[in-house]
Homo-oligomer: A and B are copies of this chain.
C-alpha cells in the first residue's frame, strides 16, 4: 500500500501579488514579486531553493510563460524548474508535484509559483477550444456551468437567490482583503438585478478576468523549524481526473463533479479526516461561478447532495459560520488567473492558519482545505493544510 506524506512537508513562506487589471507589471514582474515575498517570508535567499514548479495554464503566445521565464524572472539559473498544467487545477497540481518531489528526498527546499496574465490578450487555447466536442456548440465556461446549475435547480428546487447569497458572502470577504481584485460589498438585490451572462448566472455570479501571481516555499518538515516557527504542514493531497465528456454522457446527472469527490476522498484519507465537518476549520474552494461553490460544499462532503443552498442560506460558510468558505473573497473577488489561483488559495490558508488574516481572520483556524476544479469539471485537486 502507498504511504502517506502527511506531516512530511512544511510551507515555510508564502507571497501573493495584488490581483487585478495589472497592465504595469509583466508576467515576470508578477512572478518576481510573489516569489521574493515568499523568500522574505521564509527568511531565505533565492539560491536556497533547489528546485521549482511553475503553474501556468497558457504559456508562450498565450497568457503566461514557462520554465525558462521563471528562471529569467528570478535569476534562478542551472536549477530544475518544471511547468505543470492541469486546466483550472494548474496551481494546486504544481504544488502537489513539488510536495511529492520534496517528500522523495531529492530536494530539501523548493519553490511553487503560479502566475497568469489574462488581461493583456484574450484567452486562446482554452480547455474546450479544439479538443472537446462541445466547443462546436459554442459552449463557454459560463455556458457549461449554467447547464449544470439549471439542472440542479430543477432537481432540488433551488433558485437564483441561493446563488446571490454566495456572491454577497464572497464580495463581503473580498472587501476585507487588500489583495483582492474587487474590494466591494454587493447586495442581494444588486446581484439578482445584474445583467444575465448565461442563465441563471448574472454578472455577479461569475468571477472576473484578472492578472496575478502567488508563490510558496516548501521544505522537508523535519527541517522547517530552522526557518522559523511559523510554518504550516501538508496533511493531505488528492488529484482526480474524470472524463472530459460528461456533458455529452446520457448517464451524467449534471448536479455534481466526481473529480471533486475522488480528489477530496484521497486527500481526506491521507490526512486522516473521517468527516470534514467538525474537522476542517475553513476552506478555499473553486467558486468560478456562484453555483459551483454550492456544488463544491456537497462534493467536498460539507453537506449532503442537494443541501448546499441550505449550507449557504444558514450562514454556515460565512466568516462567522462553523465552516467558513472562501474567507479570502474567493475567485468571485480575486478573479481566476488560472495558474495563480491554486497557489493564491494556499497563500490564504497559510495566512489564516498563522492567524495573520486581519479583518477576515477565521477563529481557531487549525486545519484548512484548498480546492480547484477545472477541465471543465473533469479535474479536481484538493490540498489539506494544518497548523504546525
Contacts and interface: CB of A to CB of B under 8 A. Distances in A.
A86 B78 contact: no
A346 to B, nearest CB: 17
A85 B62 contact: no
Interface in A194-217: none
Given A60-B129, A60-B130, A84-B84, A105 B241 contact: no
Contacts of A144: none
Contacts of A126: 60
Interface stretch (A35-43, A65-73, A162-170, A307-315): A65-73
A45 interface: no
Interface of A: 1-5, 50-51, 59-62, 65-72, 76-87, 93, 96-97, 100-101, 103-108, 124-127, 129-131, 237-245, 258-259, 262-263, 266, 375, 378-379
Contacts of A93: 82
Contacts of A85: 59, 66, 83-85
Contact of A106 (B5, B51, B131, B242): B5
Contacts of A82: 84, 86, 93, 96-97, 239
23 contacts: A5-B104, A60-B130, A61-B124, A61-B125, A65-B131, A66-B86, A66-B87, A67-B375, A68-B241, A68-B378, A69-B244, A70-B241, A71-B242, A77-B258, A78-B241, A78-B242, A79-B241, A81-B86, A81-B239, A82-B93, A83-B85, A84-B97, A104-B104
A129 B124 CA distance: 14
A320 B78 CA distance: 34
B60 A125 contact: yes
Given A78-B242, A243-B71, A61 B104 contact: no
A173 to B, nearest CB: 30
A242 B77 contact: yes
Nearest to A77: B242
Given A78-B242, A97-B100, 12 more contacts: A2-B105, A2-B106, A5-B105, A60-B131, A68-B131, A68-B242, A71-B242, A78-B262, A79-B240, A80-B96, A83-B86, A125-B125
